[in-house]
Amino acid sequence: MLRKALLCGLAALAMGAVSARADTVEDFYKGRSLNLYIASGPGGGYDAYGRLLAQHLVNHLPGHPQQVPQNMPGAGGRTLTNFLYNKAPQDGTAIGILQSPIIMDPLVYGKEAQGVLYDPLKFNWIGSLDQFTPMAVVWHTTGIKSIDDAKGKEIKFGSSGGDVSERIYANILNTMMGTKFVPVAGYSGSAEIALAMERGEVPAFVGWYWAGMKRTKPEWLEKNLVNVLVQFGITPNPDMKNVPFILDLLKNPDDQKVVRIVLSQLAMARPFAAPPNVPKERVAALRAAFDATPTDPAFLADAKQQQLDITPYSGVQIDALLKDMYSTSPELVARVKATWEGK
């Protein structure tokens, strides 16, 4: 009887502790604001996904804080990444949607590289809302209809700067396919680059994602205003049956291995993260809220209205992906780096 009473008492204490922890998370967020930072300017894909999640995530977070989305573009996404890692509050009130290629920085450049002030393995990854298919498109007036047509010709394309997003895909084509895509930096995001193409400032966009173009510029496809030269990814997008797939174009098995590593970040195309050192119970609450959000009918209705594809990838999956990526052999990393830098 004494043992039974003791066990019951311990169970009650454990339940009380769990309840206290849950109450602690709820009490923390109640009356506070959750700041969600966006690594691009207004109007682009990161902005759309960031604001959509901000609106609905708080409904599934204990305490239901107010949501405050804020744009922080710059340096191809590194401005926000450095801020979130080093300067943002590490208490669970700040999260960000990062540009997924930045997870490759320390692998390619080393942890001491200039401008790389973060370690992707130490972020508290919340999850990703989509797995997208980047592509290379050129304006119809160029007369370029295929990668073969593009070979040997200097083609300028809009870029947000740095060595992320658009430039990575251009480097793959330039180093392995013999093209000469040249970045024109200074644009805040995809919306501004698309406008630049329409104005005739640049004839190409390398690295824009298929769903984003269909959502924001359907007339480009309807009126044949652009030619889609190639799609990037680990597997072909079934919605792009007539567009060549990068791994099919590469005949060298070593090239294919390198590109698979470079493109592995596409599985977490719209990733959300919290800074390091956020209390574990708040990270768990953020992850649980994220996992619940894509099942919310109101969220799905808003996503459908905005024509945003939703393919969730959990924080646990991101952790596993990064662990595998950062176990790549030094020899293969050297080739990945050369491709990343366009050498």
Provide CB contacts within 8 A for 61, sequence distance 6+.
29, 34, 285, 286, 289
SS3 track for 35-82: EEEECCCCCCHHHHHHHHHHHHHHHHCCCCCEEEEEECCCHHHHHHHH
The tokens for 74 are 């710059």
Domain extent, residue 306, equals 32-131+267-340
pTM of the model: 0.75
- Given this model, what pLDDT does residue 244 score? 97
- Given this model, what pLDDT does residue 6 score? 46
> Do 160 and 259 share a domain, yes or no?
yes
> Do 202 and 308 share a domain, yes or no?
no
> Do 320 and 277 share a domain, yes or no?
yes
> Do 156 and 260 share a domain, yes or no?
yes
- Given this model, what pLDDT does residue 21 score? 44
- Given this model, what pLDDT does residue 132 score? 83
Residue 4 lies in a domain: no
> Do 248 and 170 share a domain, yes or no?
yes
Instruction: Please tell me the distance from the alpha carbon of residue 81 to that of residue 76, in angstroms, as a whole number.
Output: 10
Residue 26 lies in a domain: no
> Do 214 and 169 share a domain, yes or no?
yes
List, in sequence order, every residue forming a beta bridge with 136; answer none if it has no partner: 206, 230
> Do 120 and 199 share a domain, yes or no?
no
> Do 144 and 226 share a domain, yes or no?
yes
**Where among 213, 246, 264 does a domain terminate?**
264
Q: What is the CATH number of the domain that holds 92?
A: 3.40.190.150
**Where among 264, 283, 315 does a domain terminate?**
264
Residue 24 lies in a domain: no
Instruction: Please tell me the distance from the alpha carbon of residue 4 to that of residue 286, in angstroms, as a whole number.
Output: 37
- Given this model, what pLDDT does residue 160 score? 79
Q: What is the CATH number of the domain that holds 199?
A: 3.40.190.10
Number of H helices, E strands in the chain: 15, 11
- Given this model, what pLDDT does residue 290 score? 98
Residue 61 lies in a domain: yes
- Given this model, what pLDDT does residue 17 score? 43
> Do 314 and 328 share a domain, yes or no?
yes
- How far from 104 is each of 70, 190, 225, 304, CA to CA, in Å? 24, 21, 33, 31
> Do 166 and 206 share a domain, yes or no?
yes
Residue 11 lies in a domain: no
Residue 19 lies in a domain: no
Residue 25 lies in a domain: no
Residues 175, 247 contacting (CB under 8 angstroms): no
Residues 267, 210 contacting (CB under 8 angstroms): no
> Do 106 and 66 share a domain, yes or no?
yes
- Given this model, what pLDDT does residue 162 score? 58
**Where among 264, 286, 319 does a domain terminate?**
264
Residue 13 lies in a domain: no
Structural domain count, the chain: 2
Residues (pLDDT < 70) of the chain are 1-23, 161-165
> Do 201 and 281 share a domain, yes or no?
no
Look at residues 177, 176, 133, 173 and name the one whose alpha carbon lies nearest to residue 157.
173
